[in-house]
Amino acid sequence: MKNKFICGLAGLVIGCGPNRDFEDKNIFGSQTVGTVTSAATASSSTGEMPKWPQDNIGYDVSKDLPAWLSWKGYPEGAPDGSKLTTLPIDYWFDSDGSRGIHAILFLTSKYDCSACTKESKELQARIETWDAAGKGIKVIVLVINSPTNGPPDTASALQWKSQYALSGASIVVDPAVTFSISSSFATPLRTIVDPRTMKVFEVSEGYTGDYSTLEGLADGNK
């Protein structure tokens, strides 16, 4: 990648709707919270889970995303278990616009989150509208738990992609909850990133159906 990104630690706890106080609680049911403290060391294959941060250590507005970020999951296309791969952050990097990527939306989502479900049900139609208009918007859903509220695994990502027919989005597992910016936040957590610089452009919580900031960034980058 051409830009030198600044590394940071990932934040690690989520909430959904008005229930935001998850300090010192295990969001994965009976699963044991481990000692993983960054996205660089977290792994869905080992089953290690992050512990809660003491400070806001995720990626807030104006932060550069580090070049080492990557996730296991499924790229755009029809749900297909054979397409499992590792998607590095530079998969969506487009410094000069030559790849036609004008805005990136990362959605941190959770199985037992009604707002996440609503957004995902409507997401494919929205993506098709953007594609038809040549917006150049890429969407990545980061799944942070399993259907049984245990740690996320690649089967969780494939099920999400299949359940919501998200052929237009990449679906990955994110046990480190990469984009949290505090020890308590609501899902879906929406992180908009500028593909020219890989800098965080906006962070918001919940689902309102308003994508004006994302669309504005895409139009401005054309």
Per-residue tokens: 14 = 């989520």
For 62-175+188-220, CATH number out of 3.40.50.300, 3.30.230.10, 3.40.50.720, 3.40.30.10 equals 3.40.30.10
Residue 32: other Cβ atoms inside 10 A: 10
Amino acid present at 84: L
Q: Which residue ranges make up each domain of the chain?
A: 62-175+188-220
Note the pLDDT of residue 57. Answer: 57
pLDDT recorded at residue 216? 98
First to last CA, the chain: 20
Give me the tens of pLDDT residue by residue for the chain, a chain 222 residues long. Answer: 443 333 333 333 333 332 233 333 334 332 222 222 333 333 333 444 444 333 445 788 999 999 999 999 999 999 999 999 999 999 999 999 999 999 999 999 999 999 999 999 999 999 999 999 999 999 999 999 999 988 899 999 999 999 999 999 999 999 888 888 776 778 999 999 999 999 999 999 999 999 999 999 999 999
Where on the phi/psi map is residue 197: left (φ > 0), alpha (ψ -120 to 50), or beta? Answer: alpha
* Nearby residues of 212 by Cβ (< 8 Å), 6 or more positions away: none
